[in-house]
A and B are shown apart, each in its own frame.
Chain A
């Protein structure tokens, strides 16, 4: 698990992007890019180099669920680890995200510890 790993944080609220970016920096991940919805995120992902995607669900333009589906249907991105970090907490939504191939699901408001645990878990599963 390299600390040089390149993250893309997708959220329409710049405050939340800053929070996640700061937390990732605290965890030692300094390489963090940002996008404000699925539409702006997708070209960044397709350009290559992103190794971990953290995305919100409810965003104008392309929502996080559609971004997740687009990622999974792109052969170059299909295996990208995706963590959904969202206020959406309905059971059917969590199930839908799981079926669409999300690797982790964190509901807002969240703690720094939860974010670390989920990222670590996803990366451990990748390494196994």
Chain B
């Protein structure tokens, strides 16, 4: 308490003495100018306190914004990302099995066509060389009839399977879009953590974090993931068709 009074005496003693002297001497000009000086000194201290307070408040707000974003990321988006990656795993697994199923179906068909052609070749060669008996010729005709019908059916099936194999590769696009989304989330998480570290280190001078703009409506949201996406989505092509029909298309 004594030291406080001492400090005040040191800071203001001479001003008060000047003021009292000017008042006693009736020097109005000196009194007013000394009073102005005194008031300005008090204001400077006040403003400096106010600046410090504002800085602290800004820092608290920044920290709150980083903290709440981190909470949001940890509570909602990280589990969502896990579900999305699970879905990618499921999709790639299904696509690989689908492709292998189709290839396995094609194998025996191609084999049968090759074997039947091989069976015909011997008689056909003799026929071309005009060294064939009439009974053998009848057998050749029957074999050819069967071969033409069977190979056409088999090759139609192989062709269809090839198209299906092609379609199965669509998983790369869909899973790629999901993985890109998760990569964006990881980058955001990294930024939030870096901001948090920076805030803890430098207090009020920390930079506010950049929030990614929510522009899903223009850019797109990516493929729907079961159990993750909110909001009404069309789950099948027929949903899309009926929605568009409702709009007069």
A residues contacting B by CB (< 8 A) are 11, 13, 15-16, 18-19, 22-23, 26, 57-58, 63-66, 86-96, 98, 105-112, 114
Q: Are A19 and B169 in contact (CB under 8 A)?
A: yes
Chain A CB within 8 A of B219 CB: yes
Q: Name the residue on B nearest A13 (C-beta).
A: B173
Assuming A13-B172, A90-B232, is B167 touching A107 (CB within 8 A)?
no
Q: Given the complex of chains A and B, what is the CA–CA distance between A112 and B176 in angstroms?
A: 21
- Are B220 and A108 in contact (CB-based, < 8 A)? no
Instruction: Tell whether, in the assembled complex, residue B237 and residue A107 are in contact, meaning their CB atoms are under 8 Å apart.
Output: yes
B35 contacts chain A at the CB level, 8 A cutoff: no
Most buried by B among A13, A58, A91: A58
CB of A114 within 8 A of CB of B237, answer: yes
Which 6 pairs across A and B sit closest by C-beta, in order of nearness? A58-B220, A87-B223, A13-B173, A16-B173, A15-B172, A91-B232
User: 1/0 contact trace for B236-249 toward A, CB 8 Å?
Assistant: 11011001100101
A37 to B244, CA, bound (A): 25
Chain A CB within 8 A of B214 CB: no
Interchain nearest-CB distance for A38 vs B (Å): 11
| B160 nearest CB neighbor, chain A only | A112
CA distance A66 to B220 in the complex (A): 11
> Do B166 and A22 touch across chains, with their CB atoms under 8 A apart?
yes
Q: Which residue from chain B places its CB closest to the CB of A22 in the assembled complex? A: B166
B218 at interface, CB cutoff 8 A: yes
Measured CA separation A107–B224 after assembly (Å) = 10
Tell me, yes or no, whether B12 is within 8 Å of chain A by CB.
no
Does B17 lie at the interface of the complex (its beta carbon under 8 Å from any beta carbon of A)? no
* Residue pair A63, B173 in contact (C-beta under 8 Å): no
Q: Are B220 and A112 in contact (CB under 8 A)?
A: no
How far does the alpha carbon of A89 sit from the alpha carbon of B240 in the complex, in Å?
Answer: 8
Whether the Cβ atoms of A89 and B235 lie closer than 8 Å is yes
Q: How far is the CB of B157 from chain A (nearest CB, A)?
A: 15
Q: Write out the residue numbers on chain B whose beta carbons fall within 8 Å of the beta carbon of A18.
A: 169
Q: Once the chains are docked, how many angstroms separate the CA of A26 from the CA of B171? A: 20
CB pair A63–B177 under 8 Å, yes or no, is no
Find out whether the CB atom of A106 lies under 8 angstroms from the CB atom of B173: no
Residues of A within 8 A of B22 (CB): none
List 5 A-B residue pairs with CB atoms under 8 Å apart, sorted by A's residue number.
A88-B221, A95-B243, A95-B247, A105-B244, A109-B167
| Cα distance, A112 to B163, chains bound together (Å) | 8
B243 touches A93 (CB 8 A): no
CB within 8 Å of A: which of B132-155? none
Q: How far is the CA of A43 from the CA of B46 in the complex (A)?
A: 63
Chain B's nearest CB lies how many Å from the CB of A87? 4
Q: With the chains together, A87 CA to B235 CA distance in Å? A: 10
Q: B170, A109: Cβ atoms under 8 Å?
A: yes
Chain B stretch 197-245: residues in CB contact (< 8 A) with chain A: 217-224, 231-237, 239-240, 243-244
- Is the CB of B109 closer than 8 A to any CB of chain A? no
Contacts of B239 in A (CB 8 A): 89
Chain B 76-87 per-residue mask, 1 if CB under 8 angstroms from chain A, else 0: 000000000000
Return chain A residues, CB-CB under 8 Å to B163: 22-23, 26, 112
Q: Which residue of B lies closest to A17 (CB)?
A: B173
Distance of A106 Cα from B219 Cα, bound (Å):
17
Identify the closest chain A residue to B229 (Cβ): A90
Q: Do the beta carbons of A90 and B221 come within 8 Å of each other? A: yes
Please state if A57 and B166 are interface contacts (CB–CB under 8 Å): no
Does B186 interact with chain A (Cβ within 8 Å)?
A: no
Query: Is B219 touching A58 in the complex (CB atoms < 8 A)?
Result: yes
